[in-house]
Amino acid sequence: MEDYLEEVSDIQAFRAGDIVRRIGKQKDQQGGYRSLTEDGSGLIVVEVLDLAQEAFVAEAGIIRPEADQRIYRHKSRFDEDQRAQDAMEILLSWTLFREHAALQGAMVQFVQTAYSPAQILKWKKDDRLRSLFVPVQQRFKIGRFKEKVDLDLLRRERFREQLQALHSGKHMTYVAFIPRDTNNEPMFFSIGTKPHLETKKVLEREQYAFHPNHGGHIKCLADDPEKPKLLLVDAGSNDLGAGMHAPLATAEMIVEALKEAYPEFEYEAVEGRGAFGIQQSY
C-alpha cells in the first residue's frame, strides 16, 4: 500500500477536503470528502475516480464501506502539503492545460479536490501520470475525449428553432440547398430577416456551411397552439432565384423539402415574393 495512505476504521474521522479511497471487491475508487450521509453510514464524495480503470466516474457519489473493503485517507492535502506546488506544476505544464485557458481554473480545482500532492508526485516517479491526465480529459471533455459535435444536427435544430419562433404575421428570409437526387438531404439556413446575400456570407463562416441553390421567405400565417403552425413559403430571392417572378413550382419544391425536414409544421407555397412583399429589395 502506498505510504501516503492511512487506513481509517471510523469514517467519522474524516475532515471536509480529505481525499477518500476505497479498495476491495475489485474496486479502487477515490474522491474528495464533503460530509457523512444523514444516517452516518456513508461518505459523500465529489469528483469520483475509478483508479483501477484510470477514469473519471461522477461529479458526486456516496461511498458506503462494505465487508472486504478498506477505507483509506490520504495523509497529503493540497492545502497542507509543502510539496503542493511541485505537484501542481505537473498540471500547469501539461500541454492540454495550456491550450484550454478558459478551463484552467476549473481544472486546478478538480485536481486539488480529487487528488493529493503525494499521489501525483508518486505517479510522476513511477511514470503513471496517465492516471491523472486521462480523468482530467474525461471530466472536461478535452483531448482524446473531446465531444464530437453533429454539425448536421446542429444546423437542423437551429433552423427548427427559428421556425418555432415565428409568430403570426412575422417572416424570415432563408437560403437552402435542395438536392436533385435522393442521396442528399435538403438544408436550410437563416439569420432572421437579413438579405439573402448577407445570409450567404454568414453561412460561409459557419462550421456546417453549404452552398445554397435557392432562397426566399417564410411567413407565419397562423400560430394556434392547438394546431400545427401554418407557414407561407416563397422562393423569391433576387440573389438565388427570380425574385418577384419566381414560379409557384419552385416554391412547391421548397415546401416538399421543408415537409421532409420539418414535418411538424404545415406549409403553403406561393409564387414570387408572396411570403414577404414585392416592394422589398431582398
Q: Model confidence over 101-155: pLDDT tens digits?
A: 999 999 999 999 999 999 999 999 999 999 999 999 999 999 999 988 889 999 9
Q: Predicted confidence band at 281 (pLDDT cuts at 50, 70, 90)? A: very low
DSSP string, 70-90: EEEEES--TTT-TTHHHHHHH
Entry pTM: 0.59
Can you tell me the distance from the alpha carbon of 241 to that of 254, in angstroms, rounded to the nearest whole number?
12
**Residue 245 φ/ψ, nearest 5 degrees:** -100, 10
Domain ranges of the chain: 5-145, 151-269
Give the CA distances from residue 175 to residues 25, 172, 185, 217, in Å, rounded to whole numbers and listed in that order.
60, 10, 14, 9
- For 154-172, the pLDDT digits (tens) are 999 999 999 999 999 999 9
Domain covering 5-145: architecture: Roll (2.30)
pLDDT of 199 higher than 70: yes
**Residue 17 φ/ψ, nearest 5 degrees:** 100, -15
Higher pLDDT, 181 or 74: 74
Average pLDDT over residues 246-263: 96
Tell me which amino acid residue 33 is: Y
Supply the pLDDT for residue 48.
96
pLDDT of 241 higher than 60: yes
Residue whose cell numbers read 407555397: 269
Can you tell me the distance from the alpha carbon of 2 to that of 194, in angstroms, rounded to the nearest whole number?
65
Domain covering 151-269: architecture: 3-Layer(bba) Sandwich (3.50)
- For 10-39, the pLDDT digits (tens) are 999 999 999 999 998 788 999 999 999 999
pLDDT of 277 higher than 60: no
